[in-house]
């Protein structure tokens, strides 16, 4: 398709993760757009886009990671600024989608906050959303605009292929993650197992029993998200108790609280493999034995294909992103 038929591509960043935005822009081959984002004395967010975007194809990179409310509001304000500056199309690039776990009414008189956030994003003026490994796939249906949902699986597989792990068993840390774990197991040609758990509270998980065989195998726990690390550390412990040689964990979004850092530091997990969907602190890298993989190329390729009106389904292949 003739590139001249497409409006000029512009990438901007909020303050949530400017380093990732810079890497994405480098991959796409465009300079990162200049936007002034600051706070007034009273804490209100001030945004000014410092270049002409009239008729441009605009991409705003902003994961809604902690502080979630601040980063979400900043995204909405950036979108409103771009809309009022007459951007032709606005795509919210949200490597991590906050509030994704509040996707249903599991108790009386509670909100479905993920749907509310989707409504806010659409109301602000977003035309399309690009995201990675949503906690619940049905969130795509909360939007009345296109959602390009990418998977970090190819990024993890390239890293794991260098580890040369023999006798591998992929383990879902809970029954809800069995579908994702099965994708990894098929791609790696390994055994599949799962841990059935009981949740004591919002921050405490009691793993009950293991379904499958991990004895004398190298275990890879896979999950999309961890916050307090209760699920993966208890699953790792039960795998070790059942004779696993070693335990690693691959988690797309490591939104680690202080409690999670303590649990991971004291756990049997030898390596926590994650992505740079959100910023990572140096202390986390050291104490949690973390390996951080970049998804800048994955998102950058997604942006290039959206801009060129091409299919993004090819991004699900391991060989696609270099």
Helix axes 113-124, 68-84, angle to 10 degrees: 20
Residue with tokens 């886009």: 49
More confident residue, 221 or 281: 221
SS (H, E, C) 210-268: EECCCCCCEEEEEEEEECCCHHHHHHHHHHHHCCCCEEEEEEEEECCCHHHHHHHHCCC
Residues 72, 64 contacting (CB under 8 angstroms): yes
Q: Indicate yes or no: pTM above 0.85.
A: yes
Positions annotated as catalytic residues are: 197
Least confident of 128-137, 254-263, 282-291, 309-318: 309-318
Between 199 and 73, the more confident residue is: 73
Name the residue with tokens 């209760």.
230
Q: What percent of the chain has pLDDT over 90?
A: 83
**pLDDT for residue 262 is more than 70:** yes
Q: Which listed CATH number (3.40.50.300, 3.40.50.2020, 1.10.3720.10, 3.40.50.1820) goes with 3-150+296-316?
A: 3.40.50.2020
Sequence-separated (6 or more) residues with CB below 8 Å from residue 93: 24, 59, 60, 61, 62, 130, 131, 299, 303
Asked: is 153-293 a CATH 3.40.50.2020 domain? The reply is yes
How sure is the predictor about 322, in pLDDT bands with cuts at 50, 70 and 90?
Answer: very low
* Mean confidence (pLDDT) of the chain: 92
- Find the mean pLDDT for residues 45-70: 98
Judge contact between 71 and 62, C-beta under 8 A.
Answer: yes
Q: What would the two tokens of residue 193 be?
A: 């197992």
| Residue range 4-33, pLDDT digits in tens | 568 999 999 999 999 999 999 999 999 999
CA distance 320 to 301: 9
Q: What is the pLDDT of residues 137-193, one digit of tens each?
A: 899 999 999 999 999 999 999 999 888 888 999 999 988 889 999 999 999 999 999
- Tell me where in the chain the CATH 3.40.50.2020 domain(s) lie: 3-150+296-316, 153-293
For residue 269, what are its two tokens? 């997990």
The pLDDT of 97-111, averaged and rounded, is 94
């Amino acid at each position: 398709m003739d590139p001249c038929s497409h409006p000029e591509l512009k990438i901007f960043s909020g303050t949530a993760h400017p380093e990732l935005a810079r890497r994405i822009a480098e991959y796409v081959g465009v300079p990162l757009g200049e936007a002034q984002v600051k706070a007034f004395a009273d804490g209100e967010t001030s945004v000014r886009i410092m270049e002409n975007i009239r008729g441009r194809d605009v991409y705003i990179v902003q994961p809604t990671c902690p502080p979630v409310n601040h980063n979400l509001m900043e995204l909405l304000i950036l979108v409103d600024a771009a809309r009022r500056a007459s951007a032709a199309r606005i795509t919210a690039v949200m490597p991590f989608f906050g509030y994704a776990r509040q996707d249903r009414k599991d108790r009386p008189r509670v909100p479905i906050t993920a749907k509310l956030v989707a409504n806010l994003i659409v109301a602000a003026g977003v035309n399309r959303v690009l995201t990675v490994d949503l906690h619940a796939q049905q969130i795509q249906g909360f939007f009345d605009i296109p959602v390009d949902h990418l998977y970090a699986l190819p990024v993890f597989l390239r890293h794991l292929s260098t580890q040369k792990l023999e006798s591998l068993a992929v383990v879902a840390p809970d029954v809800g993650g069995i579908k994702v774990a099965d994708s990894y197991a098929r791609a790696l040609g390994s055994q599949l197992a799962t841990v059935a758990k009981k949740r004591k509270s919002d921050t405490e998980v009691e793993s009950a029993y293991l379904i499958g065989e991990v004895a004398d195998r190298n275990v890879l726990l896979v999950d999309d998200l961890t916050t307090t690390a209760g699920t993966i550390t208890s699953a790792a412990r039960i795998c070790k108790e059942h004779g696993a040689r070693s335990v690693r964990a691959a988690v797309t979004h490591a939104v680690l609280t202080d409690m999670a850092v303590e649990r991971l530091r004291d756990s049997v997990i030898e390596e926590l493999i994650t992505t740079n969907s959100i910023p990572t602190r140096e202390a986390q890298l050291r104490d949690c034995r973390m390996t951080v993989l970049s998804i800048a190329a994955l998102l950058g390729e997604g942006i290039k294909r959206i801009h060129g009106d091409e299919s993004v389904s090819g991004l699900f292949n391991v060989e696609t992103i270099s």
